[in-house]
Amino acid sequence: GESVGLHLPTLSVQEGDNSIINCAYSNSASDYFIWYKQESGKGPQFIIDIRSNMDKRQGQRVTVLLNKTVKHLSLQIAATQPGDSAVYFCAENQGGFQKLVFGTGTRLLVSP
Amino acid sequence: NAGVTQTPKFRILKIGQSMTLQCTQDMNHNYMYWYRQDPGMGLKLIYYSVGAGITDKGEVPNGYNVSRSTTEDFPLRLELAAPSQTSVYFCASSRGQGSYEQYFGPGTRLTVT
């Protein structure tokens, strides 16, 4: 709701820790999921994606896990760095033409 | 490649004024999108286009119009601006057809007073 959006969930970690950011998605028919990173004052930047027929995908220092049973998505960041500080959004593709539905986001704060 | 560019970066409008937000991409992408982002919220799709001459409504199209006369440009028109349209507007593009990665512009911060 509106009150949740105004106060973004925040995850605070120390540099070098592993971070896990969670997302609940809404539509069991969504076939594709994406994680975006948004730094202050900038547009979102693609991190990693996963298709609904997969349950895990790894990238460079990032892993996305998909649990369709409970409609849950997570982003794991290994050895978190101060440059990882940003707001992270999950997005689901609910229909054709890549019409994405975005979550409200989680703020990641990394302390040196 | 400049990627996706948006102008202006900032704008203040009075209630009832109109303006056009410009978006250009130089990646020859077929798909283009307009989103708005309210403070502390995720992005909501306003309009999208899958090619020149083809546009369609997204989740929150009321109060906006778009056109797509070329592959590169996808302007967003606000008619009769209202305070509820105060937001940050992002344009994005995608190659489409098997590629789901959307590339975003830097955004336009619009305030309607």
Smallest Cα distance from A39 to chain B, Å: 11
pLDDT digits (tens, 9 = 90+) for B65-98: 999 999 999 999 999 999 999 999 999 999 987 7
Three-state DSSP at B56 gives strand
The token pair at B39 is: 């403070």
Dist CA A71 CA A93 (whole Å): 13
Q: A95: pLDDT confidence band, cut at 50, 70 and 90?
A: confident
Could you check whether the bond before residue A82 is cis, i.e. omega within 30 degrees of 0?
A: no
pLDDT digits (tens, 9 = 90+) for A8-37: 899 999 999 999 999 999 888 889 999 999
Q: Which residues of B touch A (CB under 8 A)?
A: 4, 31, 33, 35, 38-45, 48, 50, 56, 58-59, 90, 92, 94, 96, 100-107
**Cβ(B57)–Cβ(B47) below 8 Å:** yes
Q: What are the CA-CA distances from residue A40 to residues A37, A77, A86, B45, B90 (Å)?
A: 10, 19, 7, 20, 14
Secondary-structure percent of chain B, ordered helix, strand, coil, rounded to 5: 5, 50, 45
Residue A1 pLDDT greater than 50, yes or no: no
pLDDT of residue A7: 63
Q: B2: pLDDT confidence band, cut at 50, 70 and 90?
A: confident
CB contact under 8 A, B31 and A98: yes
- Considering only alpha carbons, which residue of chain B is nearest residue A100? B45
Dist CA A72 CA A15 (whole Å): 26
pLDDT of residue A96: 77
pLDDT digits (tens, 9 = 90+) for B90-106: 999 999 877 788 999 99
Residue A6 pLDDT greater than 70, yes or no: no
pLDDT digits (tens, 9 = 90+) for A31-81: 999 999 999 989 999 999 999 999 999 999 999 999 999 999 999 999 999
Residue A4 pLDDT greater than 60, yes or no: no
Q: A99: pLDDT confidence band, cut at 50, 70 and 90?
A: confident
Of A22-31, A81-90, A94-103, least confident by mean pLDDT is A94-103
- Chain B contact set for A46 (CB, 8 A): 101-103
Average pLDDT score over chain B: 95
